[in-house]
Chain A
């Protein structure tokens, strides 16, 4: 599986590693669900928002066990508390890319309180992630929280 044109912006890691640093054999040939493949080939909302803007919240998170990193950014309307735009950039495995892509899709148009109700288990379900890929969805949930936390901090709400 290779990224399409839009996929240039994301960068899949197909070789997740064991906690001892060795490659997980078999994982490279692991079957990804159709939805993961779809998000991977056509990632939604890849990109960057101005992290210095007061309207923008940035969440940067990482998973030490695999060394993958994910950045999720939101632009929030202070009046309505609605997330008007969400962008992500993930250097990670297919599941992490799909999780963050899906997360941006889900949070756009929602209020921040509403977005905070999204759980990694919702992502696991939607993408049919296998147990070894659950931490990838956790990364996405953490990223949403971190982005909202950053926005709140900037806007004096926390």
Chain B
């Protein structure tokens, strides 16, 4: 379910008739606003697709585009340009939110490449399911004991220990994900593909585990 930016990319700038490649929000010739380009989020900001993203560059480009898209600048614009400015703003915000967060950025890259997410993908590995199921059982038992009014403090400690363990596993996964970044950023085609496959497994595992952390938090907060 890669959130590709759908748009009717203008073939030519309505202002100066310069051909548009669907890679920029503004015409390179005359600076006139264009409809949302159908490019990936990195290109929206003129950045190279990179997992080890230069955060400062992203901030800079985001603020630059936000300024150029500011509603004040379109007060006297025509209906179409107004509409484009709103659509472009939405795109820029989505792109920024996605790229800013390391995990979402990684997931985005995997979805773009079709390695992860969406229907028809490979089934979750059996050993991961076993592990997640066991952890869920543990937490469930602690919850049941808590509801049955058994030694509250002991249960709480048990749950907190379980939470710490799973949270640590999540942190470990984040480290492993980051370790794959350089291979994806710089690697040749096949290195890149194998990094994608490795990251897809890690991301999937992380989904199950972070879900579990959230569940435990909810029980602890009850």
Contact = CB atoms under 8 A, between A and B. Distances in A.
B1 A21 contact: no
A136 B210 CA distance: 19
B147 interface: yes
Most chain A CB atoms below 10 A, which of B144, B147, B208: B208
A20 B104 CA distance: 7
A91 B136 contact: yes
Contacts of B117: 19, 65
A93 to B, nearest CB: 11
A131 interface: no
B140 A91 contact: yes
Contacts of A64: 121, 124, 204, 207-208
Interface string B143-165: 11001100000000000000000
A11 B142 CA distance: 12
Given A11-B136, A13-B215, A67-B211, A60 B129 contact: yes
Most chain A CB atoms below 10 A, which of B124, B126, B209: B124
A19 B128 CA distance: 19
A9 B144 CA distance: 8
A67 B207 contact: yes
A35 B140 CA distance: 24
Interface residues of B, number: 31
Most chain B CB atoms below 10 A, which of A61, A69, A71: A69
A109 interface: no
Given A8-B144, A20-B98, A71-B133, A66 B107 contact: no
Contacts of A17: 211
Contacts of A66: 207, 211
Contact of B124 (A8, A19, A62): A62
Contact of B132 (A8, A13, A62, A89): A62
Contact of A67 (B104, B126, B210): B210
Contacts of A11: 136, 140, 143, 215
Contacts of B98: 20
Interface string B96-137: 001000011001000000000100010110101110110011
A65 B207 contact: yes
B177 interface: no
Nearest to A15: B214
Contacts of B137: 89
A31 to B, nearest CB: 22
A69 B1 contact: no
A62 B208 CA distance: 9
Nearest to B203: A64
A69 B129 contact: yes
A7 to B, nearest CB: 10
B208 A67 contact: yes
| Among all A-B residue pairs, the 7 with the closest Cβ atoms | A67-B211, A91-B136, A67-B208, A62-B124, A64-B204, A67-B207, A8-B144
27 contacts: A9-B140, A9-B144, A11-B143, A13-B211, A15-B214, A17-B211, A20-B104, A20-B107, A21-B103, A21-B210, A60-B126, A60-B129, A60-B130, A60-B133, A61-B123, A62-B124, A62-B128, A62-B208, A64-B124, A64-B208, A66-B207, A69-B132, A69-B133, A69-B136, A71-B133, A89-B137, A91-B140
Given A8-B147, A91-B133, 16 more contacts: A8-B144, A8-B148, A11-B143, A11-B215, A20-B98, A20-B107, A21-B207, A60-B129, A61-B123, A62-B124, A64-B124, A64-B207, A67-B207, A67-B210, A89-B137, A91-B215
